[in-house]
Amino acid sequence: MKWSKVATSLCLVTMCFVPFQTASAESSEKEIWATHEKRNFSLNQKEFAKPLPRFAFDSGFTFEYPDAVRGVYVTAHSAGGARFEKLVKLMDTTDLNAMVVDIKDDNGYVTYIPEDSSPYASVGQPYIKDPKAILKTMEDKQIYPIARVVVFKDTVLANAKPELSFKDGNQVWKNGRGDSFVNPFLKEVWDYNVGIAIEAAKMGFQEIQFDYVRFPEGFEKRDEELIYDGGEYAKNDTDNVQKRVQAVTDFVEYAHEKLEPYGVKVSVDIFGYTATLPEAPGIGQNFSKISENVDVISSMIYPSHWTPYFGISKPDLQPYELVTEYTKLEKNKLAELKNPPISRPWLQDFTASWLGSGNYKAYGKAEVEAQIKALNDQGINEFLLWDAGNSYTEGVDYTP
């Protein structure tokens, strides 16, 4: 229907007069339509300019990211036991503000009892009887919660499904410590671990920290002997080193993508020496490639874990110097990346007596502070402290 006829009908109702349509009236009609369409297009543009609502998962908890994460490692036994209260008090009375809590441990157990319908119900252990309760305490105290998920070191899954592991003859292969690994080449293994991470994110953890994101140490010496499925990587026309690097890198990228809808950060623990090499050939870790796919990179730079390096003959005796030299190198590596992650190294709060007389020192307040100061002096303000028993040195200044 032409605009003039619509107008005529309207005017008859209102007792107005409409003259016979002429050429100029036809032009007016076109102008009216043009104005009408322009107005509608303008409105549509405004509507399109509005950001579409984005899915955001809500765990029911509210946490703020700290000025800088200064955290400690917390075993599931500590989180679920009497030591948790002591660790909370440590947070209350110092500048520490974060806990890395085991949600999938070094054996492969999930450290709480999942719901019966969960695919992880059979691997759950009641170490943390009420994860929501500890998260509520952490929310009240604004302690930033990080869920540690041990990935490819998994004796439980390896024994349950040997086809997902590495076999030595007919037996699941074990390393010198009696631990078994599952196969990073297999997407089924990826999904198994990402599923646990998603459960932790839904629970309320603000960050997922993946550990043991690698092949077993020394794997390059056994990769032609052990029996395992190369998955899609078997088709790659590259050497075994690059297949391992690609598999580990792809897992990290995949996990980060799958966790994005849950609004959590993704971090990865990595050997400190990996940053000093183009890539660690046996275990498949490439520092730069992993760093490109995470929000946080946590290099394990405990002085006790280095052989003579950076011109330091006994690194455990010189914590400040060791951390300084490592950090200089890491900064250069990260500066090469387009979107570098946050650097949040693991530091040592334990005494490495196994190194033998003359090669170690007792670690206390001075040694912990020396490592933190070394990071700070190089512009890094985030760190995590490791002690396997969660007995952390008292009286430390965590912001020296």
| Band of residue 11 on the pLDDT scale cut at 50, 70, 90 | very low
Same domain, 45 and 169: no
β-bridge pairing 167-168 and 171-172: antiparallel
Q: What is the pLDDT of residues 164-220, one digit of tens each?
A: 999 999 999 999 899 999 999 999 999 999 999 999 999 999 999 999 999 999 899
Residue with tokens 């183009």: 278
- Residues 242 and 293 both lie in one domain: yes
Q: pLDDT for 101-111, tens place per residue?
A: 999 999 999 99
- Output the six-digit token pair for 183: 């196969």
Mean pLDDT of the residues in the chain = 89
pLDDT tens for 15-51 read 333 333 334 444 444 444 444 444 444 434 444 444 5
Tell me, yes or no, whether 60 lies in a domain: no
Do residues 7 and 125 share a domain? no
Report the pLDDT averaged over residues 367-379: 98
Question: Is position 58 within any domain?
Answer: no
CATH of the domain at 377: 3.20.20.80
Domain holding 15, by residue range, is: 3-49
% of the chain at pLDDT higher than 90: 84
Q: Do the beta carbons of residue 73 and residue 385 sit within 8 Å?
A: yes
Residue 391 belongs to a domain: no
Q: 59 lies in a domain?
A: no
Q: Are residues 275 and 372 in the same domain?
A: yes
218 & 85 share domain: yes
Give me 33's structure tokens: 């339509």
Contact 196, 120 (CB under 8 A): yes
* Residue among 65, 63, 61 at smallest CA distance from 382: 65
pLDDT score for 232: 96
In the structure, what pLDDT confidence band is assigned to residue 55 with cuts at 50, 70 and 90? low
The predicted pLDDT at position 399 comes to: 96
Distance of CA 359 to the CA centre of its chain: 34
| In-domain check, residue 29 | yes
Cβ pair 207, 200 in contact under 8 A: no
3-state helix, strand, coil in the chain (%, to 5): 45, 15, 40
Instruction: Indicate if 43 and 74 belong to the same structural domain.
Output: no
Q: The dihedral of CA 109, 110, 114, 119: what is its sign?
A: negative
pLDDT of residue 30: 44
Domain count, the chain: 2
Are both 213 and 334 inside the same structural domain?
A: yes
Specify whether 78 is located in the same domain as 30: no
The answer to whether residues 160 and 42 belong to one domain is no
DSSP, collapsed to helix, strand or coil, labels residue 98 as: strand
DSSP-derived letter for residue 352 is -
Q: Alpha-carbon distance 159 to 79, whole Å? A: 27
Statement to judge: residues 20 and 145 lie in one domain: no
Global pTM value: 0.86
Tell me if 57 is assigned to some domain: no
Whether residue 286 has pLDDT greater than 80: yes
Q: What angle do CA 317, 322, 328 make, to 5 degrees?
A: 170
Whether residue 314 has pLDDT greater than 70: yes
The yes-or-no verdict on residue 13 having pLDDT over 80 is no
CB 224 within 8 Å of CB 168: no
400 lies in some domain = no
Lowest mean pLDDT among 47-51, 96-100, 208-212, 300-304: 47-51
- 382: tokens are 């985030």
* Positive or negative torsion for Cα 113, 119, 120, 121: positive
Q: Is the same domain home to 333 and 374? A: yes
Q: Is residue 16 part of a domain?
A: yes
CA 270 to CA 346: how far, in whole Å? 10
363-396 exposure pattern, b = at least 16 Cβ within 10 A, e = fewer:
beeebbbbbbbbbeebebebbbbbbeebebbeeb
Q: Tell me which residue of 219, 237, 222 sits closest to 152, measured CA to CA.
A: 219
**Do 91 and 45 share a domain, yes or no?**
no
